[in-house]
């Protein structure tokens, strides 16, 4: 049964603290196993990939079938439902247009002392994308991870995806085609992350790795960070909905379950000021769960990690939102803009009663790769900036150096770095 918390109860604050502190991401420690896999791939390359692929994916990998060909993509697209392809095209266009507006601009100026300053943005040379296989087939994630890279200007985008007995999901390949992915390889798991990070025969290393995966993939991304950049080490999905009693309880229940069905460790939270409405939502969740094909998953998330929080006034909601720092926030209230102005920590916000979180997962345009596990306190969703880096620009002529150099040399002396100071003073003497 879902956890109920009421602001009228004497231990409300401690109950919220305990709920926020729930550890939903606890998994078996796979760090040693992943470390061994990475070392094996670095040492033995394709031979290691073949061994792991045969063991875990039951597929005999070789130099001829490692890379998915353009012909494979075109052939499998014929197996896709035409309406699904139309929806992919629609989503890809909206995602691309949104991310094009994120492109940063270069800047160059001369300050009042005559020093030329500025910055320049450039993209990475190559990026890698992990696309899960097995039960987790997410063509939408392929679009969300790949399109920002291409918008940023990345010339080479390589995707890895595990194959189960030589079977690749046609819709995932169709999404890869629409996103402009350049290379696709039939490998998965920690070994695929190692191959992207360090390179093996036929696969050149990349600069950034993005995309979701299981505990082994997440740990592998954590361990290769520093050699390459990564998007994040994502935790289970979460949604927080603020609603008054005017919303349709069936809509709110469906939105809560939209995240609960992802994983048994997902989290769904409702904050409301209407006890009767809270009861109606709970009853609707129970009804919808009975008919859900993913009932076992969603029920576990609802019972073990979710909560209904009843407050005396929705004016208290922003404080709770900022404590939770949720991945997704729905504001199903009369004036969502007013409440948005008081919210600081959240991955993505959905305004009004007619904006379910699911539109953000697929076709709204903003990226659905978002910070989880309270990381919205300091992190943002995936964007074109994850595939770009900023270079500072500094230029002095003789006059400008004579104005700023003495202070720099003085600070170098204070730090005990005489050659730093000398590199400035030798110019000032001439």
pLDDT (tens digit, 9 = 90+) per residue, 123-152?
999 999 999 976 568 999 999 999 999 999
In whole angstroms, give the CA distance from residue 178 to residue 162: 20
pLDDT at 424 over 70: yes
E strands present in 112-206: 116-123, 126-130, 156-160, 183-185
Average pLDDT over residues 29-48: 96
Token pair of 36 as six digits: 């061994």
Q: What is the pLDDT of residue 279?
A: 97
In whole angstroms, give the CA distance from residue 53 to residue 178: 27
Q: What is the pLDDT of residue 26?
A: 62
What is the Cα Rg of the chain in Å? Answer: 25
Among candidate residues 327, 345, 357, 368, the one labeled active-site is 327
Q: In terms of CATH architecture, what is 3-25+235-364?
A: 3-Layer(aba) Sandwich (3.40)
pLDDT at 164 over 90: no
- Which residues make up the CATH 1.20.5.1300 domain(s) of the chain? 396-429
Burial class of 161 by CB neighbour count within 10 A (0 to 12, 13 to 18, 19+): buried
Q: What predicted TM-score, i.e. pTM, was given to this entire model?
A: 0.94
In whole angstroms, give the CA distance from residue 241 to residue 270: 5
- Which residues make up the CATH 3.40.50.1980 domain(s) of the chain? 3-25+235-364, 31-106+124-230
Laid out side by side, the sheet with 116-123 consists of: 107-110, 116-123, 388-395
134-138, 191-195, 212-216, 299-303: least confident range: 134-138
Percent of the chain's residues with pLDDT above 70: 98
Can you tell me which residue has the tokens 């009861």?
279
Among candidate residues 262, 305, 328, 374, the one labeled active-site is 328
Sequence-separated (6 or more) residues with CB below 8 Å from residue 241? 252, 255, 256, 268, 269, 270, 271, 329, 330, 332
Residue 24 pLDDT level (bands cut at 50, 70, 90): confident
Instruction: Answer yes or no: 328 catalytic.
Output: yes
Q: What is the pLDDT of residue 135?
A: 58
DSSP β-bridge partners for residue 6 = 310
| Superfamily of structural domain 31-106+124-230 | Nitrogenase molybdenum iron protein domain (3.40.50.1980)
pLDDT at 64 over 80: yes
Choosing among 3.30.70.380, 3.30.420.40, 1.20.5.1300, 3.40.50.2300, the CATH entry for 396-429 is 1.20.5.1300
pLDDT at 277 over 90: yes
Instruction: Answer yes or no: 99 catalytic.
Output: no
Residue-wise pLDDT for 238-259, tens only, equals 999 999 999 999 999 999 999 9
């Amino acid at each position: 049964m879902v956890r109920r918390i009421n602001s009228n109860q004497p231990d409300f604050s401690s109950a919220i603290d305990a709920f926020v502190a729930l550890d939903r991401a606890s998994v078996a420690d796979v760090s040693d196993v992943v470390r061994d896999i990475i070392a094996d791939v670095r040492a033995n390359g394709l031979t290691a990939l073949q061994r792991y692929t045969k063991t875990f994916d039951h597929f005999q990998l070789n130099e001829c079938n490692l890379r998915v060909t353009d012909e494979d993509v075109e052939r499998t697209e014929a197996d896709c439902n035409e309406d699904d392809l139309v929806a992919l095209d629609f989503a890809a266009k909206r995602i691309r247009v949104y991310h094009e507006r994120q492109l940063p601009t270069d800047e160059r100026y001369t300050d009042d002392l005559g020093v030329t300053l500025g910055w320049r943005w450039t993209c990475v040379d190559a990026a890698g994308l992990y696309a899960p296989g097995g039960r987790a087939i997410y063509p939408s994630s392929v679009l969300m991870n790949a399109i920002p890279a291409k918008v940023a200007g990345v010339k080479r985008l390589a995707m890895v995806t595990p194959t189960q007995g030589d079977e690749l999901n046609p819709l995932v390949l169709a999404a890869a085609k629409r996103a402009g992915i350049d290379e696709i390889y039939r490998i998965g798991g920690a070994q695929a992350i190692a191959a992207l990070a360090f390179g093996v025969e036929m696969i050149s290393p990349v600069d950034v790795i993005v995309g979701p995966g299981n505990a082994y993939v997440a740990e592998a991304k954590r361990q290769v960070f520093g050699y390459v950049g990564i998007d994040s080490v994502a935790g289970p999905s979460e949604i927080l909905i603020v609603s008054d009693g005017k919303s349709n309880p069936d809509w709110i229940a469906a939105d809560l379950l939209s995240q609960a069905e992802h994983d048994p460790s997902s989290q769904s939270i409702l904050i409301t000021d209407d006890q009767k409405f809270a009861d109606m939502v709970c009853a609707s969740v129970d009804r919808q769960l009975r008919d859900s094909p993913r009932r076992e998953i969603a029920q576990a998330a609802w019972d073990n990690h979710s909560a209904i929080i009843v407050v005396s006034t929705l004016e208290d909601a922003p404080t709770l939102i900022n404590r939770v720092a949720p991945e997704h926030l729905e504001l199903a209230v009369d004036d969502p803009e007013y409440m948005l102005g008081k919210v600081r920590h959240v991955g993505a916000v959905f305004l009004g009663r007619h904006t379910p979180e699911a539109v953000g997962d697929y076709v709204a345009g903003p990226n659905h790769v978002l910070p989880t596990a309270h990381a919205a306190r300091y992190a943002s969703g995936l964007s074109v900036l994850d595939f770009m880096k900023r270079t500072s620009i500094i230029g002095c002529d003789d006059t400008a150096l004579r104005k700023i150099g003495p202070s720099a040399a003085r600070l170098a002396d204070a730090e005990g770095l005489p050659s730093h100071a000398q590199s400035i003073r030798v110019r000032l003497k001439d």
